[in-house]
Amino acid sequence: MKKTTKIGLIIGIIVIVLIAFFYPRLADQRAEPTATGSTGGGGAQQALPVNVIQLKRETLRNQLQVTGTILPNESVDLRSEISGLVTRINFREGQYVTKGTPLVYLNDDELQAQYQRLKYTQKLFETQENRQKQLLAREAISQEEYDIVLNQYNTAISDIKLVEAQLAKTVVRAPFNGKLGLRLISEGTVISPTTPIVSIVNIDPVKIEFSIPERYANQVTIGSPIYFSNESSSEEEEGKVYAFEPQVDLATRTLKLRAQSPNKEGKFLPGMFVKIRFILEVTEDALMVPAESVIPELEGYKVYVATADGKVEQKKIQIGTRTESHVQILSGLNEGDLVLTTGVMQARQGMSIQPTIIN
């Protein structure tokens, strides 16, 4: 009994497997005439629905998306040229000052005393020089005696100019127009040439520093436009390249550039991170197709176009500049051609299609 039961079970399993394998195929064969809409022989091929674009001439802006940093137009930490005691501070923190504005005064009592003494000496030698000149004119003294007094007079004038230069250094002045930072000293502080006093920054215009890959180095020109923005605002500002390094950085294989842009409202501050669109070149009347339309091959590239009778035609192309979403066509297509943007993988030469033109 047990052996008979086992044999019956095996036969039952085989029957189930055979039914499961052959039944779907029979069903498909019976349903095929209905699916194709034909009662015999091979049915008519259905047209493939696709989207196409009509090629038009447009302006191509070959650009790079890079990041950069805002730099001040001018920036310096003010220090005194000489050592001395701070007697007066003539500015407020955060104040805007113009070039030449006196900011800090140092004690100049000793220099003022030397200056007065030299002025008296100059007056004495000036009187002697005038007297000796009159005597020389009457030949009452020799030329040598006059030259000695004249030299003393000229030396006194030089000593006065030296003290005047030292007195000028007791006043620290703004070297350019700009906004002052936070004060680092107080009245009564004895400072030296190494003591920082306050920072001064000019941020109108600002400079934008960024780097580009070395392969684009030959496309950089003075005056090339850039467009930049930061995280606080999506609105782009325009700048122009005014200088770049004469050599490529060996470590990063990049070329460093600087651009300049007006900043009258003080929107951008030094140290800010910015996103930059750097315009390498502008090409007028370029033919552009979506990147998904271009098919790479061993011999180059191809695209599919829709013909007037609703068929697919394959065309070999030569490409140029690539952007994030489009590719420039240098040859192989003409203005007005209808290029497939969907169904590219299913399309074949001569296939019937239902094209829909999209903008």
**The domain spanning residue 248 has which CATH number?**
2.40.30.170
The Cα 313–Cα 300 span in angstroms is 17
| Predicted pLDDT at 45 | 63
33 domain residue, yes or no: no
Please tell me whether residues 81 and 191 are part of one structural domain. yes
Token duo for residue 285: 């009347």
Q: What is the pLDDT of residue 19?
A: 66
Mean pLDDT of 355-359: 86
pLDDT bucket at 321, cuts 50 / 70 / 90: confident
Q: What is the DSSP string of 128-143?
A: HHHHHHHHHHTTSS-H
Contact criterion met (CB below 8 Å) for 76 and 355: no
Among 152, 185, 200, which residue terminates a domain? 200
Residue 148 structural domain: 75-200
Of 357, 277, 294, which Cα lies nearest the Cα of 330? Answer: 294
The reported pLDDT for the residue numbered 39 is 39
The mean of the pLDDT values for the chain is: 86
pLDDT value, residue 36: 37
Kindly state whether residues 302 and 274 are assigned to the same domain. no
Q: Are residues 175 and 107 in the same domain?
A: yes
Per-residue pLDDT at 6 exceeds 80:
no
Tokens of 178: 């700009």
Q: How would residue 2 be classed by pLDDT, with cut points 50, 70 and 90?
A: low
Q: Which residue has the tokens 């055979």?
A: 18
- Residue 247 sits in the same domain as residue 277: yes
Give per-residue pLDDT as tens, 187-236. Answer: 999 999 999 999 999 999 999 999 999 988 888 889 988 999 988 777 88
CATH of the domain at 190: 2.40.50.100
* Number of compact structural domains in the chain: 3
DSSP character at residue 95: -
Query: Residue 197 corresponds to which tokens in the numbers above?
Result: 């006093």
- Return the top range by mean pLDDT from 38-47, 141-150, 257-266: 257-266
> Do residues 204 and 262 make contact, with C-beta atoms less than 8 angstroms apart?
yes
Please report the DSSP string for 309-321 in residue order.
TSBEEEEEEEEEE
- As given in the structure block, the two tokens for residue 108 are 């100049």
- Is residue 310 in a domain? yes
Following DSSP, what letter does each residue of 50-74 receive, concatenated?
EEEEE--EEEEEEEEEEEEEEE-SE
How many Å apart are CA 56 and CA 58, to the nearest integer? 6
Work out whether strand 48-54 and strand 353-357 pair parallel, antiparallel, or are unpaired: parallel
Residue 226 lies in a domain: yes
Each residue's pLDDT tens digit, 162-183:
999 999 999 999 999 999 999 9
137 domain residue, yes or no: yes
Confidence label for 8 from pLDDT (cuts 50, 70 and 90): low
Q: What is the pLDDT of residue 235?
A: 85
pTM here is 0.65
Instruction: Answer for the pair 329, 289: CB distance below 8 angstroms, yes or no.
Output: yes
- In the block, residue with structure tokens 């999506």: 234
CB 171 within 8 A of CB 133: no
pLDDT tens by residue, 42-85: 445 688 999 999 999 888 877 888 999 999 999 999 999 999 99
Q: Is the pLDDT of residue 32 over 80?
A: no
Has residue 9 been placed in a domain? no
β-strand 338-340 against 48-54: which pairing, if any? antiparallel
pLDDT score recorded for residue 40: 41
Q: Determine, yes or no, domain membership for 96.
A: yes
CATH of the domain at 312: 2.40.420.20
- Res 58: pLDDT: 86
How confident is residue 21, by pLDDT bands cut at 50, 70 and 90?
Answer: low
Asked if 226 and 217 count as a contact pair (C-beta separation under 8 A), the reply is no
Of 72, 86, 95, 269, nearest in space to 181 by CA? 95
Asked if residue 113 belongs to a domain, the reply is yes
Q: End of a domain among 171, 200, 229?
A: 200
Task: Say whether both 156 and 114 belong to one domain.
Answer: yes
Look at residue 2 and give its three-state secondary structure. helix
Mean pLDDT of 298-320: 91
Q: Give pLDDT, residue 151.
A: 92
Tell me, yes or no, whether 164 lies in a domain: yes
118 and 141 share one domain: yes
List CB contacts of 184: < 8 A, sequence separation 6 or more. 195, 196, 197, 198
210 and 262 together in one domain: yes
Residue labelled with tokens 């003539």:
90
Together in a domain, 79 and 196: yes
